[in-house]
Structure formats: C-alpha cells, structure tokens
Structure 1
C-alpha cells in the first residue's frame, strides 16, 4: 500500500478536517511520494478580473467530493501512488520576478526527488516559473497547452511578464522543446490577425477550437500524441479552455468553449504521454458561487493524478528515470 493516501470518507465525513486536495495528508516531504499537489496563489499578473490567488483554496475545498476510484480509467489511484498536499509555495503580491524565483526555488526539491508536481493556480503567469524549475531538472520539455488564449503575447503594457506572455518567454529562454509542443482550444476575439501565427512562428503547433471541431476529438488526440511523441512533457490546463457555461469562475471568459465532458475526455485520451509536471490555472472563485468551476478544476487535478497512477501501475520506464 502506498504510504500517503486520502482520509477514508466512510470513516470521517468529508466536511471534517482541514481542507487539502482530496483529503490527502498535508506534509512537506518527498520521501515515498509520487505526486504532490501544490498551491501557487499568485494573480497580480492578471489583465482583467483578478482573484485567482484564492483558486488553490477553492479547488481544495471542492476536491473533498472527489473519490479515489476512477471508473472510466478503471483504477483506484492511491492503490498505486502515494500522494500529499504539499501546501502553498510562497509568492510576493505585485512582484512577479521575485515570485518566479520563489516558484523555481520551491519546486526544485520536489522535482529533484522525482516527485511529479500538480500545481493549482493562480493566474497563468505562474507556469513560466514552473517551467524554469522543470527545465533545470530535465532540460527543455514538450508542452501540452489547453487554453482559450495562446499566451504568447509580446510585452503587453510595455512589461515583459503577465498571464498572457508565459509561453513566449518559455520558448525564448529555451525551456520548451517546441518541436514537441502544442496549444489547443484557442478561440475568441483577438487583438490582431496574427495572434495564432505568432505562436506558430515561435515553433508551437496550434489547433484552434474551431479547427478542433472540424477535425473531431479523436483526430485532435492523434495529433497531440504525434506531436509530443515519447518526449518528457509538461501539461498546463487553463480552466477557460472550458466554456463559461460549465466554468464561469475564471478571469477571461470566452464563448464557444468545450463542455466538461469533452475536456476531461480529451485529458484522458492522452494519458500515455510522459508527463513530468502538471498545472491547472485561472480558477477565480469570486465568479463561481455554485463551485462548479472549482469542482471541475479539482477533477482536472484528479485526472492528472490518475495518469500518474496508470503509468505506475503499468511500469512506465520514464517514471523510474525521474528518481
């Protein structure tokens, strides 16, 4: 039996205890740990609605309803992996450069131990700090990016970093293996006609939401898997990938997004890729009074952990190499 696993809700009701992800133990350790859920409550790089700093707490609160057995993936995940809620990394409100340093510093011992982080945001700017830490451990990695927005802007407001810029700078800094990186779900009105082309010029493959529907999800899955191949990969999931009818609690909503079923099914369809880190970002609880967005974000994190459990169950060779 893995060392760390959730509290049994048939013995202690879900509404009892301190809120952690899926009621996992809150322990800052990497010993005998396969996955660590980590909050990064930073949102001062947002460009419109803010409050994503409260996202990690909201996701944890909703996650107490998530049970360990995944019937679609046919696995009880904590039969195979040990998981903890590592708590939150320190951030500096209003100072993104120092926050990036703290993210990189905070994730390094986790990654060095071969533990797979599942980070809970926070606005999408945090992903650059995560990628810096991941690249320091593994070198440039592939990227799977689910989002309504490309996030490859060039110095909005004359500033280098905000939640619309992380992947431009990740590429410029050599953190990504762009030949094995892909952005999917891009949609909505844009500032100029070259926004998608800008991402492609940086080396990313882009499949817009409209194109995804033309292709069908099976073909989108095939193209993601073909693009990434057997490379180590980082998975970033912006909750605005999902339509605001299903996920209203986010900062920059866009119509014509995907249903919760479509999104989670697509996550499950690429389970065989060699993921070394994950995040789910841009959850904004102020606009989520019924907690449907937080609940959905918690299920994204749950599917991430399921993927690691499946790899552990099946003896994926790359997992052994991470340690």
Structure 2
C-alpha cells in the first residue's frame, strides 16, 4: 500500500490540480492498515423519478477539494488522527440492480475484512441494502440511523421489490438491521398512503417526521437517537434530500420544509458518540445542482463522519 499522506494544501497546490479523490486524499488499492476507506457506488437505475445520481460520487469528490483537514468544532485534524484514503468506485452494472448489489457488497466486505470503516458515496438509496448485507455479515443486525425525507420502507415500487424506495423493508426482512435500535429522522411531504409513517412502528422502527423534530427541538432529538441506538454497532445512512432543497437542490425527489445546512451538520456532529461501523451519503444528482452546493453539502457531511472517527481514535474509543 502507498504511504498515506495529508491532503494537498491549497496554499501550495491549487485546488483544481490532482483531483479525483475525496479531499485529494491518497488513492489506495486496499484497506490494509487503514482506519477508513472512501468508496463510490455510482448506481442510480433504481431511482423512481429523476436519474443521474450515478454522477454523485464524482461531483462530491470534485467539490471536496474545498475541504480542509481540521475540524475546528471537534478539535481534530482528520488525517493526523486517522489513516485512510479513496479506493475509487465499485464496478456496478448500470440497469441491473442485483449484479450491482453483488459488486457493492463485495467491495464493502473487503473494506470491513481489514477492520476499516467504509464511507460510501452514492448513487441512489437502493445501494444501502448491499452495504448492509456486508456489514451484517461481520456485525450481525446493526442499528440504523437514517436521515431522509422519505422512509424507504415500501414493500414494492412499480411492482418491484428492489428500488430506492424499498431498501429498509428488505433490510428488515433479511435481518440486516435491528429495528428495535433503529431510528428514521426527517420524513415529510405528501404521501399516497396517509399511514405510511405508521408503517415504521409496525415494523419495529422509530420514525420522527420533520414536523415532530421541529416541535421537540434538537436536544430532545439527539437524546432520542442516543437512547434508541445505545452502544449497538451502528450504520448511518444519509439521503441528501433530508436537507431542504433551498440548500440542496440537486437530488432526485426533493421535498420542501426540510432542514438548513447548519441544522444538518449540527445534528450529525452531536451524535458523535455512537458505535459507528459504516456510513453512506446518497441521492446527490449533479444535473439539478446549483453552484455545486448540494455536492458541497454532501462533502461536508462526509467530513463530519471522518471527524467523528478521528475524535474517537484520538480519545481511544
């Protein structure tokens, strides 16, 4: 494996030079000896409306050149505390979800086998099922923390069981997640089935829709997340449409009435004490983005993931 280095500094190397990896990190070909690995899953043919999130990983990587390694609020330098890099994209098969699932599951499994934490850039939300298959092979059913404007618990979409609206129904059926320790946050918007949010409780999940988050406040929300998950191994999945489209317009199924960029980062940062074993960020669709603000929002969320891992290692947790 190549030596892992700090990202290039824009004080000595312009941001538009040597791009292609997240934050211009080292390109790695294995997770051996690493704490984390960034990977792309550029699959979007399970999208139900706008397609194009296959270009999300590249967009996130490109704008991530704006990121710097120090998190001032958490007081960590991610690459002083961690060893990691960008392994590139999994070789998905456009238009064919099951071969793509196999490639993603294999890629994530290889990262986990080396005891590194996978951080996957999507792609539509269907990819998370494949990641959870890999994670559950190592850890058993995990807690799921799910930020989204949609619950993605449908049984079928267009009569099909595998779609970006169904991954967590399948994950429960396959015993990949533990519903009793899982929580979904931020759901909102109009629905075909007025009882859709009640479906989560029927499946054993806890769902807190956006209006309830507003009513209870962030402090109470964070307490609810920590109590629900406890110390169980946890996977955090983040759909960018959790963020209001005023701040993140580049996504496939936008919903108004969401959260600001500040609120979003604050929420992610404040659940830093969970026992994370994997992360992803999904549904960034560059063709509908404006000034790369959606991709930049996603890059900042990934940076917070990395900062949490760095803080844990710094504190020997």
TM-score interval (norm. to shorter): over 0.9
Gaps of 5+ in 2: none
Partner of residue 251, structure 1 = 252
Partner of residue 84, structure 1 = 85
Matches within 5 A, 1:290-305: 290-305=291-306
Q: Is the 8 A contact 1:68 1:78 kept in 2?
A: yes
Per-residue displacement from partner, 1:92-123 (whole Å, max 9, x unpaired)? 11111111111111111110111001100000
Per-residue displacement from partner, 1:193-223 (whole Å, max 9, x unpaired)? 1111111111110000000000000100000
Offset at 1:78? Answer: 1.0
Q: Is the 8 A contact 1:235 1:277 kept in 2?
A: yes
Provide the C-alpha distance between the structure 1 equivalents of 2:278 and 2:197, rounded to a whole number of angstroms. Answer: 25
Offset at 1:289? Answer: 3.2
> Is it true that 1:186 corresponds to 2:187 in the alignment?
yes
Provide the C-alpha distance between the structure 2 equivalents of 1:5 and 1:172, rounded to a whole number of angstroms. Answer: 42
Provide the C-alpha distance between the structure 2 equivalents of 1:187 and 1:130, rounded to a whole number of angstroms. Answer: 25
Matches within 5 A, 1:134-283: 134-283=135-284
Offset at 1:28? Answer: 1.3
Partner of residue 44, structure 1 = 45
User: CA RMSD, aligned part only?
Assistant: 0.9
Q: Is the 8 A contact 1:62 1:298 kept in 2?
A: yes
Q: Is the 8 A contact 1:3 1:32 kept in 2?
A: no
Provide the C-alpha distance between the structure 2 equivalents of 1:296 and 1:61, rounded to a whole number of angstroms. Answer: 12
Q: Is the 8 A contact 2:183 2:206 kept in 1?
A: yes
Q: Is the 8 A contact 1:5 1:83 kept in 2?
A: no
Offset at 1:246? Answer: 0.1
Using the size of structure 1 for normalisation, the TM-score is 0.96
Aligned to 2:158, the other structure's residue is in SS state helix
Offset at 1:76? Answer: 1.2
Gaps of 5+ in 1: 317-323
> Is it true that 1:101 corresponds to 2:87 in the alignment?
no
Per-residue displacement from partner, 1:262-297 (whole Å, max 9, x unpaired)? 000000000000000000000000001310000000
Aligned to 2:6, the other structure's residue is in SS state coil
Provide the C-alpha distance between the structure 2 equivalents of 1:36 and 1:128, rounded to a whole number of angstroms. Answer: 19
